[in-house]
Amino acid sequence: MQDFGRILVIFGIIIIVVGLILSHTNISKHLGKLPGDVNIKKGNTSFHFPIVTCILVSIILTVILNLILRK
């Protein structure tokens, strides 16, 4: 059970670090506006699906979690 607590603490620290990085850089302005993200506007309706952003975040999180959880 102590291992689970350590993992939660590590994830909490990672979330804090990522939040600080995003709040102090211009990276967050570009997320959701990458080439390949779907943005459709017709009249009063708009549809936005950041598919490339989702794939990029997924790859980054996979690499980070593999590095952390690999012992």
Local confidence pLDDT in tens for the 71 residues of the chain: 678 888 888 889 988 988 888 788 877 676 777 888 898 999 999 999 899 888 988 998 899 888 878 86
Give pTM, 2 decimals: 0.58
Place of tokens 């952003």: 53
In the 8-state DSSP scheme, what is residue 62? H
Q: Where are the domains of the chain?
A: 2-69
Query: Do the Cβ atoms of 39 and 46 come closer than 8 Å?
Result: yes
Of the candidates 16, 14, 27, 20, the residue with the CA atom closest to the CA atom of residue 56: 27
The helix or strand, by DSSP H or E, that contains position 23, with its residue range, turns out to be helix 2-24
Closest CA to 36 of 45, 48, 26: 48
For position 1, what pLDDT does the model report? 65
